[in-house]
């Protein structure tokens, strides 16, 4: 039993270091695409910690929903907008950075104090059987309609985001007669020259 506990401790240490490293990369990288990819690493390492806690359904939902849907949607939104903007330095930016660092240090101290003061007890109770089958039965019988409504809502928001992102390429005033075929198509995004 000691070997299993040692393996769990080492795995937890590796996953927590991976999560902290990728979370720092999300915040510190200037390239937003790299930050979005590292956010996927944060979500995957969280799913690994859920597996260590015997929460198999939460781990699978973490990978499917956050890595497979939310992170991919963030990447699509970043690559669809594709706006290059140079950041200009702000006046008194040291004040904002200092206040942010102070708030982060306070939150870190608070969470550290709570984690040290809390009496963590290691349970020797054998874990329950997998909860995936009962959850799936409820999900596809009792909660099927909310699931379908949520998927339609997500689809509508994605189509709206695409239309808003492409809006700057549509002409403001349409003069003359236009055919219905031309009015239903969006103009293509101008591509950069290959020679540059």
Query: From CA 94, how far away is CA 156, in angstroms rounded?
Result: 41
Residue 176 domain-assigned? no
Quote the Cα angle for 181-185-154, to 5°. 130
Residue 114 domain-assigned? no
Q: How confident is the model at residue 119 (pLDDT cuts 50, 70, 90)?
A: confident
| Helix H or strand E segment including 79 | helix 72-81
Residue 88 domain-assigned? no
Q: Which carries the bigger pLDDT value, residue 48 or residue 77?
A: 48
Residue 92 domain-assigned? no
Domain that holds residue 30: 1-83
- Residue 2 has a pLDDT of 47
- Residue 1 has a pLDDT of 37
Q: Give the CATH number for residue 68.
A: 1.20.120.1200
**Tally of domains within the chain:** 2
Residue 98 domain-assigned? no
SS (HEC) of 124-167: CCCCCCCCHHHHHHHHHHCCHHHHHHHHHHHHHHHHHHHHHHCH
| Helix H or strand E segment including 50 | helix 32-52
Query: From CA 183, how far away is CA 193, in angstroms rounded?
Result: 27
Task: Please tell me whether residues 76 and 4 are part of one structural domain.
Answer: yes
Task: Please tell me whether residues 142 and 70 are part of one structural domain.
Answer: no
Task: Please tell me whether residues 135 and 77 are part of one structural domain.
Answer: no
Query: From CA 65, how far away is CA 88, in angstroms rounded?
Result: 36
pLDDT surpassing 70 at residue 59: yes
Residue 110 domain-assigned? no
Task: Please tell me whether residues 138 and 79 are part of one structural domain.
Answer: no
Q: What is the pLDDT of residues 99-109, one digit of tens each?
A: 989 999 999 99
Task: Please tell me whether residues 79 and 153 are part of one structural domain.
Answer: no
Task: Please tell me whether residues 2 and 78 are part of one structural domain.
Answer: yes
Task: Please tell me whether residues 4 and 67 are part of one structural domain.
Answer: yes
């Amino acid at each position: 039993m000691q070997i299993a506990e040692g393996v769990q401790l080492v795995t937890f240490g590796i996953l927590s270091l991976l999560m902290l490293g990728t979370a720092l990369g999300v915040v510190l990288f200037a390239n937003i695409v790299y930050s979005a990819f590292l956010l996927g690493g944060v979500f995957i390492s969280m799913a690994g910690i859920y597996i260590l806690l015997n929460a198999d359904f939460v781990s699978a939902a973490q990978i499917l929903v956050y890595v497979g849907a939310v992170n991919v949607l963030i990447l699509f939104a970043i690559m669809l907008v594709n706006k290059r903007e140079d950041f200009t330095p702000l006046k008194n930016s040291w004040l904002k950075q200092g206040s942010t660092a102070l708030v982060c240090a306070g939150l870190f101290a608070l969470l550290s104090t709570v984690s040290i003061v809390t009496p963590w007890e290691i349970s020797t109770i054998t874990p329950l059987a997998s909860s995936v089958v009962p959850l799936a039965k409820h999900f596809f019988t009792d909660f099927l309609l909310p699931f379908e409504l949520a998927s339609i809502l997500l689809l509508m928001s994605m189509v709206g985001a695409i239309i808003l992102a492409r809006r700057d390429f549509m002409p403001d005033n349409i003069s003359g007669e236009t055919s219905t075929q031309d009015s239903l198509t969006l103009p293509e995004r101008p591509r950069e020259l290959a020679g540059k």
